Amino acid sequence: MTGRNRRRRRKRKSNIDFVKVFFFLVTCLVIVFAAVVILSKIISHKDRYFDEGLAFYQNAEYDKALDRFADALSEKQIFSRNKDKNTRLYMADIYMKTADYDKAVEEYDTILQQTSSDKKNVGKMKEIAQALADFSDSNYAGALPVLEQYVKDYPELYLYIGTCYASMNDAEHMFENYEKYIDKYGYNSYLYAQYAAYYISIGEMDNAYGYINNGLASDNTFQKELRLQEISYYEKIQNYDKAYELAKELYELYPEYQDGVDEYNFLYTRVSHDDE
């Protein structure tokens, strides 16, 4: 009995030692793993580059933000998949803001391939980006169904939908969608240019001239186009001297604007003939 009890105690003691060794090894592995993660973060500049890119993004310095975000993606770091996803989301948003829709599509596609979370929202943004890319390529029929599908979530899309209908000579739906946009965001130079183009096309020159003037007094985004419409207005009322004067001014301000160059060359010839 005594010998058997002694063997049991030795066996129990051996088991206790094994458990201690096991937990010791697990603790060591956890410490080593944590050290590797911390060391990875210390060595990598990913977080710093991301923070700098975010600061540029918030200040609308998009070129600098893209450079910093690209630097962040190039840095290797353990467990950085979620950070890389957020980085690419910011990059895609910049491409959307700067109307570089093809690159936005590429970023959203990369996110969908590399991550399994939030696929529905990212997929939706990819569809919108592709529709806007189609819109930019004048594929209005291809863009319209997707834009109408998501306009309730993104009411700024009413602007693009209105232009799609304008391209189809559907004035009723053009005005309907433009007015929904205006109710929420107000007028901008693009809308003034679109309204002016419509009224020029139907020969209502007084209305056209009013929208041209309002557009020229608003933001600077579509100044070239509005100036060209102003020239077109004077051509329509056969005041070619004034049209030429404005075309020359447009050419001097924007010498690389091809539509302006073409109009200047045309009117230069026309005024020369009149002078003769």
Taking only the tens place, the pLDDT of each residue in 240-273 is 999 999 999 999 999 999 999 999 999 998 886 4
Structural domain spans, the chain: 187-276
pLDDT, tens digit, 9 for 90 and up, residues 90-108: 999 999 999 999 999 999 9
For residue 130, the model assigns a pLDDT of 98
Residue 24 vs residue 52, higher pLDDT:
52
Are 99 and 136 a contacting pair, CB within 8 Å? Answer: yes
pLDDT, tens only, 116-139: 778 999 999 999 999 999 999 999
Nearest CA to 165 out of 187, 196, 198, 202 is that of 198
Q: In the predicted model, what is the mean pLDDT of the chain?
A: 87
Q: What angle do CA 218, 219, 222 make, to 5 degrees?
A: 105
pLDDT, tens digit, 9 for 90 and up, residues 214-236: 999 999 899 999 999 999 999 99
Residue 7: pLDDT band with limits 50, 70, 90: low
**Check whether domain 187-276 has CATH 1.25.40.10, yes or no:** yes
Residue with tokens 């391939």: 113
In sequence order, the 6+-apart residues with CB closer than 8 A to the CB of 239 are none
Which residue from 90, 120, 85 is spatially nearest to 103, judged by alpha carbons? 90
For 74-83, the pLDDT digits (tens) are 998 776 788 9
Per-residue pLDDT, averaged over 22-49, amounts to 58
Query: What's the confidence (pLDDT) of residue 12?
Result: 53
In contact, 122 and 108? CB cutoff 8 Å = yes
Identify the band that residue 40 occupies on the pLDDT scale cut at 50, 70 and 90: very low
What is each CA distance from 37 to 25, 30, 43, 52, in whole angstroms?
A: 18, 11, 10, 22
